[in-house]
């Protein structure tokens, strides 16, 4: 493929990835309108391991509620000041103000470096600014702290796809799908990329 062809393909992939990320971010930020205490109430008394097991065994309808509970659980830092920084970062992202979001989320990762969701959210902000290397680094950090965050794994797959590493992208998507079998965006990504990767291997 010539340079023009490669650039055209990359532009298509980037368009797909950006669209998918916006949908993911939009779904994730539904909780922005709720207070931190509301998120805590949604998480109920179930622990992460139990919720993840239920997610694998769930129907698509049941998965919606379990997904909501997991995200609420992952949004709890255990610190009121950290929760406030997360909320402000999310609000800025929801408003499209990525610079302010990064400021809040950097303060959060400095204040609570062991809180995985802070790194995950800052990765989303970096992605929105096309800083894919920085986004990938933050996603890796988030996954080191919470390896079950399928949204972070999905984000890593999008980055691999953008930088034209389809095998690694598909591996990430399939890893996310193994945790959340009913994730629509991940399912679409696997269906889109698997024929391409398998065709290249022939």
What domains can be seen in the chain, in order of their start residue?
50-201 (1.25.40.10)
pLDDT above 50 for 22? no
pLDDT per residue over 26-46, tens digit each?
343 333 323 333 343 444 446
20, 61, 139 from 55: Cα distances, Å: 22, 11, 22
| Residue-level pLDDT at 202 | 53
Give yes or no for residue 13 having a pLDDT over 60: no
Lowest mean pLDDT segment, chosen from 40-44, 128-132, 135-139, 140-144: 40-44
Which is higher by pLDDT, 176 or 43? Answer: 176
pLDDT of residue 198: 87
pLDDT band at 199 (very low <50, low <70, confident <90, very high): confident
Alpha helices in the chain (DSSP H): 3-28, 36-43, 48-57, 60-74, 80-94, 98-111, 116-128, 132-145, 150-162, 166-179, 184-201
Rounded to two decimals, what is the model's pTM?
0.77
Q: What is the mean pLDDT of the chain?
A: 83
- Tell me: the pLDDT tens digits for 84-98? 999 999 999 999 999
Residue 201 confidence (pLDDT):
62
So what's the pLDDT on residue 6?
A: 37
Provide, rounded to the nearest whole percent, the portion of the chain with pLDDT above 90.
74
Handedness of CA 131, 132, 137, 138 (dihedral sign): positive
């Amino acid at each position: 493929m010539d340079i023009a062809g490669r650039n055209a393909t990359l532009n298509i992939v980037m368009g797909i990835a950006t669209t998918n990320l916006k949908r993911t971010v939009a779904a994730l930020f539904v909780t922005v309108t709720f207070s931190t205490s509301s998120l805590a109430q949604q998480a109920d008394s179930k622990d992460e391991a139990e919720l993840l097991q239920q997610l694998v065994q769930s129907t698509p309808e049941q998965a919606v509620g379990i997904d909501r509970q997991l995200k609420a659980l992952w949004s709890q830092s255990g610190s009121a000041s950290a929760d406030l920084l997360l909320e402000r970062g999310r609000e800025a992202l929801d408003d499209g103000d990525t610079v302010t979001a990064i400021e809040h989320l950097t303060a959060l990762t400095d204040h609570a470096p062991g809180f995985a969701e802070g790194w995950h959210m800052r990765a989303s902000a970096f992605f929105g600014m096309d800083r894919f290397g920085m986004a990938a680094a933050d996603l890796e950090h988030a996954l080191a702290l919470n390896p079950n965050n399928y949204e972070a794994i999905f984000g890593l797959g999008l980055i691999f796809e953008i930088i034209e590493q389809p095998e690694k992208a598909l591996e990430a998507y399939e890893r996310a799908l193994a945790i959340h079998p009913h994730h629509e965006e991940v399912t679409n990504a696997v269906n889109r990329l698997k024929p391409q990767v398998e065709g290249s291997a022939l």
